[in-house]
Structure formats: C-alpha cells, structure tokens
Amino acid sequence: MHLRTLCKVFGNEQRVRLVKCLLHKATVTELLEKCHLSQSVLSQHLAILRDAKVVTACRNGRHIEYKTSSRAYVRLAKSISSLTK
C-alpha cells in the first residue's frame, strides 16, 4: 500500500475506530451497533477500506461479512488511537 493511501485510510478517526471493530468478522448490522455510525457513513467508510484492501467482504447467505485483510491494520489502528488520546 502506498503511503498516501495509508494516510488517507488511517487519517480519519471514524475509519480507525471501524478497523479496530473488524478484528473478527462482522456484518453491517453488527458494525452499526459496535461503531455507533449511521448506515450511510458506515457504507462510505467500508467502501474506502475495501478499495484500499484494508478490509475484505465475504457473502454469507443474505449477509455480507467484513473483516480486516491483515491483523497488522488492527494493530496500526490501535496504535494510532493510543497516540491521539
């Protein structure tokens, strides 16, 4: 991943929080409850994270489950959170 993309993805507090929520697979409904974002905001952030290949999506019946493509992204999100407190 290019540095510019990395900065764009992790330069937004809501996306950092969302990545931290995606250590394990989660549906949009579960993410709405965990991350306290509106559905439209969540969808926009998931699209950015998918485009950057930070998260993957997998269909499970009628639901789509999301998870990080690497645990390193969760560690990075946690590190960023701890630095910005």
Give CA 37 to chain center in angstroms. Answer: 12
Residue 73 has pLDDT above 90, yes or no: yes
Residue 84 has pLDDT above 90, yes or no: no
- Please state, in angstroms and as integers, the Cα–Cα distance from residue 82 to each residue in 33, 41, 78, following that order: 22, 23, 6
pTM, entire model: 0.89
The pLDDT score that the predictor gives to residue 13 is 93
Quote the DSSP letter at residue 23: S
Residue 55 has pLDDT above 80, yes or no: yes
The pLDDT score that the predictor gives to residue 1 is 76
Fold of 3-83: Arc Repressor Mutant, subunit A (1.10.10)
Stronger pLDDT, 75 or 1, i.e. the higher one: 75
Domain coordinates in residue numbering, the chain: 3-83
